[in-house]
Structure 1
């Protein structure tokens, strides 16, 4: 599948927001902090169709998953309160929260609600719309195999790898003038947005806060949590 040109001014640059070598595509209006200063389950569906860009890679979001506040959402990293690991989620909205999971993968979230609350949206899947060659090189490094364009960012770990996110990106600002941008893009129409249970969590998975663009080929497959045998 070829690259789709960004719509209405979306921009994929070198991560600095301008300068030589930046590829200017159509319509690059970045979302401001007010966009993220809302409950995660309101921000999540509104992120579908938006474009997150860092460095040379831009990803149109097609699947996301919201997580609630301390004491209310048992699936959230903030459920039991603030820790060194989840501290970024208690910071200002619009920052990137990156965590390491299963001893092998990084996943990226966008922080929601005012500072001190503790909520976010997991970026589950998307379509690489710029910088596909860079994303593919990251995905295949040392793997000795190829990856289809459909699968470059089809899943939270794949999305993080494609964008180059690691632990050092935890806490970076995704609002101007930060190095990461979430662009206005082409928001999904309400009729195209579906919701359902969250995936891969052992508690609170029945909460229908996973949102995706119906029929989009880059949405990841749903996998309910399966308890481990003792």
Structure 2
């Protein structure tokens, strides 16, 4: 029976083996610019990775992810053979997202170089894996506090947040949210305002249409 297979492949090696897996209908391939997933610094960037995987798994459709935050990124992914895109960080900076307001503010102020690899988020994962998140005193090598850095409010209760916990700060968090993982991909430098999710989708699609219509002029 055909199945829907969603696999994150930052290197392309898995993509070349994916044709043997249950006739998968869909792939998600993520370059090394993706928001905070288990990605190695040596992973291949999306520009080089995407057409390689598209060719390897054809005719199965591929979704592109990693550093895509606007319509130009969508247009680029489509031109490289993707059937669509998977956008992460841009939707953290949306009205509907429950991320802490300070987390969202940091996204708006960040540049692409502020999204760094770090193995700081360690709990509850059993092994250290690098994630991409915004720079903080902990990612820069500062010693962690000896006490909880924040609290998550759950109704009439609160839960302490320890250094190196993997959960990002939400609207229910009180404390030093800058020491918690503020996950972000390298597309963060393209985020300039907080908008409703629907407005983000409309903006991305509109910009993609404009970019694609302009391409023939550049090729003449």
TM interval, shorter chain, is under 0.3
Q: Which has the larger radius of gyration?
A: 2
Q: TM-score normalised to the size of structure 1?
A: 0.21
Q: Which protein is richer in helix relative to its size?
A: 2
Q: TM-score normalised to the size of structure 2?
A: 0.21
